[in-house]
Amino acid sequence: MKYADKLISGFLLILLVAGANLLKGEEKSVVTKTDNQRANDHCLKCHAHNHFIYENTVAKKQVKHKMEPGLRIDTVLFYQSNHKNFKCTDCHSEDFGKWPHSAEVRMETPMLCLDCHGGDEKYAKFQFEKIEAEFAQSTHATRHGDSFSCWTCHEPHTYKISARNDSVINKIIAYDNNICLSCHNNVNKFELISDNAKPNIIAKHDWLPNQARHFQNVRCIECHAHKKDSLLVAHNIMPKEKAVKLCQECHSKNSILMNSLYQYQLKSKATGLGFDNEKMLDNSYVIGANRNIYLNRISIAIFLLTLIGIAVHTLLRIIFKKH
Protein backbone atom coordinates (compact mmCIF):
# COMPACT_ATOMS: atom_id res chain seq x y z
CA MET A 1 0.00 0.00 0.00
CA LYS A 2 2.79 2.36 0.91
CA TYR A 3 4.39 1.84 -2.50
CA ALA A 4 1.03 2.44 -4.24
CA ASP A 5 0.47 5.59 -2.16
CA LYS A 6 3.85 6.93 -3.25
CA LEU A 7 3.04 6.27 -6.91
CA ILE A 8 -0.31 8.06 -6.62
CA SER A 9 1.31 11.00 -4.77
CA GLY A 10 4.02 11.29 -7.41
CA PHE A 11 1.47 11.16 -10.21
CA LEU A 12 -0.63 13.90 -8.59
CA LEU A 13 2.50 16.06 -8.13
CA ILE A 14 3.35 15.71 -11.81
CA LEU A 15 -0.20 16.77 -12.73
CA LEU A 16 0.00 19.81 -10.43
CA VAL A 17 3.36 20.93 -11.90
CA ALA A 18 2.11 20.43 -15.46
CA GLY A 19 -1.06 22.36 -14.68
CA ALA A 20 0.92 25.23 -13.14
CA ASN A 21 3.21 25.44 -16.18
CA LEU A 22 0.18 25.40 -18.48
CA LEU A 23 -1.37 28.31 -16.58
CA LYS A 24 1.89 30.23 -16.78
CA GLY A 25 1.98 29.68 -20.54
CA GLU A 26 -1.56 30.98 -20.86
CA GLU A 27 -0.70 34.03 -18.80
CA LYS A 28 2.25 34.80 -21.09
CA SER A 29 0.06 34.50 -24.19
CA VAL A 30 -2.38 37.13 -22.92
CA VAL A 31 -1.75 40.45 -24.71
CA THR A 32 -1.79 43.37 -22.30
CA LYS A 33 -3.11 46.55 -23.85
CA THR A 34 -1.40 49.88 -23.26
CA ASP A 35 -3.29 52.92 -22.00
CA ASN A 36 -3.24 54.38 -25.50
CA GLN A 37 -4.65 51.20 -27.02
CA ARG A 38 -7.45 51.15 -24.50
CA ALA A 39 -8.18 54.81 -25.32
CA ASN A 40 -8.24 53.96 -29.03
CA ASP A 41 -10.84 51.25 -28.47
CA HIS A 42 -13.43 54.00 -28.09
CA CYS A 43 -12.82 55.10 -31.70
CA LEU A 44 -12.09 51.67 -33.15
CA LYS A 45 -15.34 50.13 -31.96
CA CYS A 46 -16.77 51.89 -35.03
CA HIS A 47 -13.80 52.71 -37.27
CA ALA A 48 -12.33 49.19 -37.19
CA HIS A 49 -15.45 47.68 -38.77
CA ASN A 50 -17.24 47.75 -42.11
CA HIS A 51 -20.36 49.03 -40.40
CA PHE A 52 -21.43 50.78 -37.21
CA ILE A 53 -24.63 50.91 -35.22
CA TYR A 54 -26.12 54.06 -33.70
CA GLU A 55 -29.32 55.11 -31.99
CA ASN A 56 -31.67 57.17 -34.16
CA THR A 57 -33.30 59.36 -31.52
CA VAL A 58 -35.93 60.65 -33.97
CA ALA A 59 -37.12 57.25 -35.15
CA LYS A 60 -36.26 55.79 -31.73
CA LYS A 61 -34.51 52.74 -33.11
CA GLN A 62 -31.03 51.40 -33.77
CA VAL A 63 -29.64 51.91 -37.26
CA LYS A 64 -26.89 49.91 -38.92
CA HIS A 65 -24.81 52.07 -41.25
CA LYS A 66 -21.93 51.28 -43.66
CA MET A 67 -18.55 52.71 -42.73
CA GLU A 68 -16.92 54.65 -45.57
CA PRO A 69 -13.83 52.68 -46.77
CA GLY A 70 -11.59 55.72 -46.33
CA LEU A 71 -12.61 55.99 -42.68
CA ARG A 72 -12.08 52.34 -41.80
CA ILE A 73 -8.90 51.50 -39.88
CA ASP A 74 -7.21 48.12 -40.23
CA THR A 75 -6.14 47.56 -36.62
CA VAL A 76 -3.56 44.90 -37.54
CA LEU A 77 -1.77 47.27 -39.94
CA PHE A 78 -2.17 50.21 -37.57
CA TYR A 79 -0.51 48.42 -34.66
CA GLN A 80 2.35 47.41 -36.97
CA SER A 81 2.84 50.96 -38.27
CA ASN A 82 5.20 53.72 -37.18
CA HIS A 83 2.36 55.42 -35.31
CA LYS A 84 1.21 52.36 -33.38
CA ASN A 85 1.99 53.91 -29.99
CA PHE A 86 -0.17 56.99 -30.51
CA LYS A 87 -3.70 57.68 -29.38
CA CYS A 88 -6.20 58.69 -32.05
CA THR A 89 -6.61 62.03 -30.26
CA ASP A 90 -2.88 62.73 -30.50
CA CYS A 91 -3.55 63.65 -34.12
CA HIS A 92 -7.33 64.19 -34.11
CA SER A 93 -9.35 66.59 -31.99
CA GLU A 94 -10.58 65.43 -28.58
CA ASP A 95 -14.03 66.46 -29.81
CA PHE A 96 -14.07 63.34 -31.97
CA GLY A 97 -14.80 61.50 -28.74
CA LYS A 98 -18.40 62.66 -29.04
CA TRP A 99 -20.79 61.12 -31.53
CA PRO A 100 -22.31 62.19 -33.84
CA HIS A 101 -19.22 64.18 -34.79
CA SER A 102 -19.93 67.86 -35.30
CA ALA A 103 -19.51 69.50 -38.71
CA GLU A 104 -16.72 71.72 -37.34
CA VAL A 105 -14.74 68.69 -36.17
CA ARG A 106 -15.20 66.84 -39.46
CA MET A 107 -13.80 69.82 -41.35
CA GLU A 108 -10.63 70.11 -39.26
CA THR A 109 -7.34 70.32 -41.18
CA PRO A 110 -5.36 67.06 -40.88
CA MET A 111 -1.96 67.25 -39.19
CA LEU A 112 1.12 66.71 -41.35
CA CYS A 113 4.58 65.29 -40.64
CA LEU A 114 6.19 68.59 -39.60
CA ASP A 115 3.40 69.35 -37.14
CA CYS A 116 4.97 66.70 -34.92
CA HIS A 117 8.43 66.08 -36.33
CA GLY A 118 9.53 69.59 -37.35
CA GLY A 119 12.32 71.10 -35.25
CA ASP A 120 12.49 68.05 -32.99
CA GLU A 121 16.04 66.82 -32.31
CA LYS A 122 14.72 63.32 -31.70
CA TYR A 123 13.76 63.06 -35.38
CA ALA A 124 16.57 65.20 -36.82
CA LYS A 125 18.22 62.20 -38.50
CA PHE A 126 15.20 61.82 -40.79
CA GLN A 127 15.62 65.43 -42.04
CA PHE A 128 11.90 66.17 -42.35
CA GLU A 129 12.54 69.84 -43.12
CA LYS A 130 14.72 68.91 -46.14
CA ILE A 131 12.15 66.38 -47.27
CA GLU A 132 9.42 69.03 -47.16
CA ALA A 133 11.61 71.45 -49.15
CA GLU A 134 12.26 68.72 -51.74
CA PHE A 135 8.60 67.77 -51.94
CA ALA A 136 7.65 71.43 -52.50
CA GLN A 137 9.67 71.31 -55.75
CA SER A 138 8.10 68.07 -56.96
CA THR A 139 5.54 67.80 -59.72
CA HIS A 140 3.05 66.46 -57.17
CA ALA A 141 3.19 69.68 -55.15
CA THR A 142 3.48 72.18 -58.01
CA ARG A 143 0.62 70.64 -60.02
CA HIS A 144 -1.79 69.62 -57.28
CA GLY A 145 -1.13 72.07 -54.44
CA ASP A 146 -2.91 71.42 -51.14
CA SER A 147 -4.82 68.44 -52.55
CA PHE A 148 -1.55 66.50 -52.43
CA SER A 149 0.13 66.09 -49.02
CA CYS A 150 2.38 63.68 -47.13
CA TRP A 151 -0.61 61.43 -46.43
CA THR A 152 -1.47 61.08 -50.10
CA CYS A 153 1.44 58.64 -50.37
CA HIS A 154 2.07 57.72 -46.74
CA GLU A 155 -1.25 56.66 -45.21
CA PRO A 156 -0.80 57.67 -41.53
CA HIS A 157 -2.66 54.68 -40.09
CA THR A 158 -0.57 52.06 -41.91
CA TYR A 159 2.71 53.75 -42.86
CA LYS A 160 5.93 52.17 -41.69
CA ILE A 161 9.50 52.79 -42.75
CA SER A 162 10.57 50.06 -45.13
CA ALA A 163 13.92 50.97 -46.67
CA ARG A 164 15.66 52.03 -43.46
CA ASN A 165 14.50 48.95 -41.57
CA ASP A 166 14.87 46.24 -44.18
CA SER A 167 18.03 44.97 -45.85
CA VAL A 168 16.14 42.76 -48.33
CA ILE A 169 16.05 44.83 -51.51
CA ASN A 170 13.08 43.03 -53.09
CA LYS A 171 10.90 43.82 -50.07
CA ILE A 172 11.88 47.49 -50.23
CA ILE A 173 11.09 47.60 -53.96
CA ALA A 174 7.67 45.97 -53.55
CA TYR A 175 6.68 48.17 -50.60
CA ASP A 176 7.80 51.46 -52.17
CA ASN A 177 6.32 50.70 -55.59
CA ASN A 178 2.99 49.83 -54.00
CA ILE A 179 2.90 53.37 -52.60
CA CYS A 180 3.10 54.77 -56.13
CA LEU A 181 0.68 52.21 -57.57
CA SER A 182 -1.87 52.86 -54.82
CA CYS A 183 -2.65 56.02 -56.80
CA HIS A 184 -1.30 55.49 -60.32
CA ASN A 185 -3.01 52.11 -60.57
CA ASN A 186 -6.18 53.11 -58.69
CA VAL A 187 -8.63 55.10 -60.78
CA ASN A 188 -10.75 56.21 -57.80
CA LYS A 189 -7.84 57.68 -55.87
CA PHE A 190 -6.17 59.10 -59.01
CA GLU A 191 -9.29 61.03 -60.04
CA LEU A 192 -9.56 62.62 -56.59
CA ILE A 193 -6.27 64.39 -57.27
CA SER A 194 -5.95 64.75 -61.02
CA ASP A 195 -8.40 65.78 -63.74
CA ASN A 196 -6.50 63.68 -66.27
CA ALA A 197 -7.39 60.11 -67.14
CA LYS A 198 -5.46 57.48 -65.21
CA PRO A 199 -2.43 56.50 -67.30
CA ASN A 200 -1.82 52.94 -68.44
CA ILE A 201 1.43 52.13 -66.64
CA ILE A 202 2.32 49.23 -68.95
CA ALA A 203 1.65 51.20 -72.15
CA LYS A 204 3.52 54.28 -70.88
CA HIS A 205 6.63 52.15 -70.31
CA ASP A 206 6.47 50.15 -73.55
CA TRP A 207 9.85 51.60 -74.56
CA LEU A 208 11.52 49.85 -71.60
CA PRO A 209 13.28 46.59 -72.57
CA ASN A 210 12.46 43.56 -70.43
CA GLN A 211 9.78 45.63 -68.73
CA ALA A 212 8.56 43.07 -66.17
CA ARG A 213 12.08 42.46 -64.80
CA HIS A 214 12.68 46.19 -64.45
CA PHE A 215 9.44 46.62 -62.51
CA GLN A 216 10.44 43.79 -60.17
CA ASN A 217 13.97 44.99 -59.51
CA VAL A 218 13.87 48.80 -59.33
CA ARG A 219 11.61 51.33 -57.67
CA CYS A 220 9.61 53.91 -59.59
CA ILE A 221 11.55 56.70 -57.86
CA GLU A 222 14.90 55.50 -59.25
CA CYS A 223 13.86 56.90 -62.63
CA HIS A 224 11.24 59.46 -61.65
CA ALA A 225 12.84 61.30 -58.70
CA HIS A 226 15.69 63.79 -58.52
CA LYS A 227 18.53 62.25 -56.48
CA LYS A 228 19.98 64.14 -53.54
CA ASP A 229 22.95 62.67 -51.67
CA SER A 230 22.01 64.22 -48.33
CA LEU A 231 18.62 62.45 -48.23
CA LEU A 232 18.03 58.71 -47.98
CA VAL A 233 14.75 58.88 -49.91
CA ALA A 234 14.12 61.21 -52.85
CA HIS A 235 10.87 63.22 -52.66
CA ASN A 236 11.31 65.57 -55.62
CA ILE A 237 9.30 63.69 -58.23
CA MET A 238 10.17 65.07 -61.66
CA PRO A 239 7.81 65.66 -64.61
CA LYS A 240 7.60 62.61 -66.86
CA GLU A 241 9.63 64.42 -69.54
CA LYS A 242 12.65 64.41 -67.19
CA ALA A 243 12.43 60.75 -66.19
CA VAL A 244 15.57 58.64 -66.67
CA LYS A 245 15.52 56.84 -70.02
CA LEU A 246 19.23 56.29 -70.69
CA CYS A 247 20.36 52.73 -70.01
CA GLN A 248 23.84 53.80 -68.90
CA GLU A 249 22.37 55.77 -65.98
CA CYS A 250 21.96 52.42 -64.20
CA HIS A 251 24.05 50.05 -66.30
CA SER A 252 27.45 51.57 -65.61
CA LYS A 253 30.13 51.66 -62.95
CA ASN A 254 28.64 54.91 -61.60
CA SER A 255 25.12 53.49 -61.49
CA ILE A 256 22.51 55.80 -59.95
CA LEU A 257 21.21 52.74 -58.11
CA MET A 258 24.18 52.96 -55.75
CA ASN A 259 23.07 56.42 -54.63
CA SER A 260 19.45 55.41 -54.10
CA LEU A 261 18.18 51.84 -53.88
CA TYR A 262 21.40 50.11 -52.81
CA GLN A 263 22.54 52.67 -50.26
CA TYR A 264 20.45 50.75 -47.73
CA GLN A 265 22.69 47.72 -48.02
CA LEU A 266 24.91 48.19 -44.97
CA LYS A 267 27.21 45.30 -45.77
CA SER A 268 28.03 43.11 -48.73
CA LYS A 269 28.46 39.36 -48.94
CA ALA A 270 30.74 39.70 -51.96
CA THR A 271 33.68 41.59 -50.43
CA GLY A 272 37.14 41.21 -51.89
CA LEU A 273 36.02 39.58 -55.12
CA GLY A 274 37.00 42.51 -57.29
CA PHE A 275 33.48 43.50 -58.34
CA ASP A 276 32.43 47.11 -58.90
CA ASN A 277 29.18 47.92 -57.08
CA GLU A 278 29.44 44.55 -55.34
CA LYS A 279 26.47 45.33 -53.04
CA MET A 280 24.17 44.65 -55.98
CA LEU A 281 25.31 41.03 -56.07
CA ASP A 282 23.30 40.23 -52.94
CA ASN A 283 20.06 40.37 -54.94
CA SER A 284 20.68 40.89 -58.63
CA TYR A 285 23.25 41.38 -61.36
CA VAL A 286 23.00 44.70 -63.17
CA ILE A 287 24.77 44.33 -66.51
CA GLY A 288 27.42 47.03 -66.89
CA ALA A 289 27.39 47.93 -63.19
CA ASN A 290 28.68 44.65 -61.71
CA ARG A 291 31.95 44.56 -63.61
CA ASN A 292 34.86 42.57 -62.15
CA ILE A 293 38.25 44.26 -61.92
CA TYR A 294 40.19 41.02 -62.49
CA LEU A 295 38.08 39.94 -65.46
CA ASN A 296 38.50 43.41 -66.96
CA ARG A 297 42.28 43.17 -66.61
CA ILE A 298 42.37 39.65 -68.05
CA SER A 299 40.25 40.69 -71.05
CA ILE A 300 42.52 43.69 -71.69
CA ALA A 301 45.62 41.45 -71.42
CA ILE A 302 44.13 38.94 -73.88
CA PHE A 303 43.28 41.78 -76.28
CA LEU A 304 46.82 43.20 -76.08
CA LEU A 305 48.40 39.75 -76.55
CA THR A 306 46.17 39.23 -79.59
CA LEU A 307 47.36 42.54 -81.09
CA ILE A 308 50.98 41.65 -80.33
CA GLY A 309 50.50 38.22 -81.94
CA ILE A 310 49.02 39.80 -85.07
CA ALA A 311 51.84 42.34 -85.20
CA VAL A 312 54.55 39.65 -84.79
CA HIS A 313 52.88 37.42 -87.38
CA THR A 314 52.68 40.32 -89.85
CA LEU A 315 56.31 41.27 -89.24
CA LEU A 316 57.52 37.68 -89.76
CA ARG A 317 55.59 37.39 -93.03
CA ILE A 318 57.20 40.59 -94.29
CA ILE A 319 60.69 39.40 -93.30
CA PHE A 320 60.35 35.95 -94.85
CA LYS A 321 58.71 37.32 -97.97
CA LYS A 322 61.83 39.37 -98.71
CA HIS A 323 63.96 36.24 -98.55
Pairing type for strands 51-56 and 61-66 reads: antiparallel
pLDDT tens column, 240-282 = 899 999 888 888 877 878 777 776 654 444 455 555 566 666 6
Q: Is the pLDDT of residue 284 over 90?
A: no
- Residue 18 exposed, middle or buried by CB count within 10 Å (0-12, 13-18, 19+): exposed
For residue 224, the model assigns a pLDDT of: 93
Q: Confidence band (pLDDT; 50, 70, 90) for 72? A: very high
Cα–chain center distance at 135? 17
What pLDDT digit, counting tens, does each position of 183-214 carry? Answer: 999 888 888 888 888 889 999 999 999 899 89
What pLDDT, on the 0 to 100 scale, is given for residue 146?
85
Q: How would residue 25 be classed by pLDDT, with cut points 50, 70 and 90?
A: low
Give residue 266's pLDDT.
Answer: 45
| Residue 51 phi, psi dihedral angles, 5° rounding | -145, 165
The answer to whether the CB of 134 falls within 8 A of the CB of 234 is yes
Q: What is the pTM of this model?
A: 0.67
pLDDT score, position 278 = 62
